[in-house]
Chain A
């Protein structure tokens, strides 16, 4: 079974600074997708960024970018120019076979 590990339960960043959230996963498959979701206090799950495993180029979405290391099975999220609205739980997720497998999340605090 696939597993997703987020080893940082909590992180903190100064407003306008950069922070990186870590994620590793375990799979024997070569074709899959990876996602980062944001869950603010409203609990709504918001898609932040996605990465197709067959693409070598790292995905970027405005201030959000990933460092995808397929051989190492690592998928970290970098948030640049952090804003107060970025404060939330962040979940890394692996997708294959119609289901998402989530990590346990990292709670990000943004200091003003």
Chain B
């Protein structure tokens, strides 16, 4: 059973470009979470999605960031007009059921903004 998949593993963008990060949850998991890890810091919650629904986006910056988890395909975290401060590792996690209270993490995408 494959784990949580994220791609790309590394992404380099110039300021003003768009970044798209993809996350495929574990098989059978319908809950996806995105976290951001700035250098030398812990992970910070961004957004929680179920298929076609955003459940909690309290950690998402108000502008330039969006997330989706369509009925078919991976979850996408989209960052428009990237700035240097967006450079970070972005982790996706998935869970099978909300009640299990356990999230399985992907390997992360390291975004570098030049």
Contacts and interface: CB of A to CB of B under 8 A. Distances in A.
B45 A91 contact: no
B91 interface: yes
For chain A, which range describes its interface: under 10, 10 to 19, 20 to 34, or 35 or more residues?
20 to 34
Contact of B45 (A47, A50, A99, A105): A99
A55 interface: no
Q: At the interface, is chain B mostly helix, strand, loop or mixed?
A: strand
Interface residues of B, number: 25
B107 A104 contact: no
B62 to A, nearest CB: 17
Contact of A33 (B33, B101, B105): B101
Given A98-B56, A99-B56, A105 B91 contact: no
A76 interface: no
B102 interface: yes
Given A33-B101, A47-B102, A102 B42 contact: yes
Interface string B34-52: 0100001111110010000
Given A43-B89, A47-B102, A100 B107 contact: no
Contacts of B43: 45, 91, 100, 102
Interface in A31-53: 33, 37, 42-47, 50
Interface of A: 4, 33, 37, 42-47, 50, 91, 93, 95, 97-105
Interface of B: 33, 35, 40-45, 48, 55-56, 58-59, 89, 91, 93, 98, 101-105, 107-108, 110
